[in-house]
């Protein structure tokens, strides 16, 4: 079945995939630090900032999708992912390890759920309807 999704939804899907990829990368780098990888800790910190940047770009793309008639949940969910990434970077910079590790696990789960929902979402166009695609459920 063909998905006639607008370009903005395809961009959100790409951004969500980037967020999920960064979450998996971060988990791998974090696991490497458990075995004394000091360089990996530095890379983990750098990639944390990159991850936050990818979440911000994805939220901007989600805003464009909502402007194109997409449902608002896409934007709200992406903003939650941005907020969680910000919490993660803050905990990491403050070197609060235990909450940072727990929060990182939850961030990976959030990124997985967001990516899954964005890919399962079909953009339905209803000609002449201002409410087309405005369902508040995934």
Note the pLDDT of residue 72: 93
- Distance (Å, rounded) from C-alpha 44 to C-alpha 32? 9
Residue by residue, pLDDT tens for the chain (138 residues) are 455 778 889 999 999 999 999 999 999 999 888 887 678 888 999 999 999 999 999 999 999 999 988 899 999 999 999 999 999 999 999 999 999 999 999 999 999 999 999 998 877 654 333 444 455 555
Q: What is the pLDDT of residue 82?
A: 97
- The CA radius of gyration of the chain, in Å to the nearest whole number, is 17
Per-domain boundaries in the chain: 7-120
pTM: 0.83
Residues 69 and 134: beta-carbon distance below 8 Å: yes
Check residue 126 and give its pLDDT: 42
CA distance 61 to 70: 11
41 within 8 A of 52, measured Cβ to Cβ: no
Q: Which CATH number fits domain 7-120: 1.10.3470, 3.30.70, 1.20.120, 2.60.40?
A: 1.20.120
């Amino acid at each position: 079945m063909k998905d006639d999704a607008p370009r903005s939804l395809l961009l959100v899907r790409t951004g969500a995939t980037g967020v999920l990829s960064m979450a998996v990368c971060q988990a791998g780098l974090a696991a490497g630090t458990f075995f004394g990888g000091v360089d990996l800790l530095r890379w983990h910190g750098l990639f944390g900032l990159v991850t936050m940047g990818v979440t911000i770009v994805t939220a901007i793309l989600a805003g464009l999708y909502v402007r194109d008639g997409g449902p608002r949940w896409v934007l709200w969910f992406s903003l939650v992912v941005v907020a969680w990434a910000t919490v993660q970077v803050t905990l990491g910079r403050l070197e609060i390890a235990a909450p940072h590790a727990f929060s990182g696990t939850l961030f990976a789960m959030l990124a997985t759920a967001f990516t899954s929902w964005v890919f399962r979402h079909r953009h339905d166009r209803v000609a002449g309807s201002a409410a087309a695609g405005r369902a508040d459920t995934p």
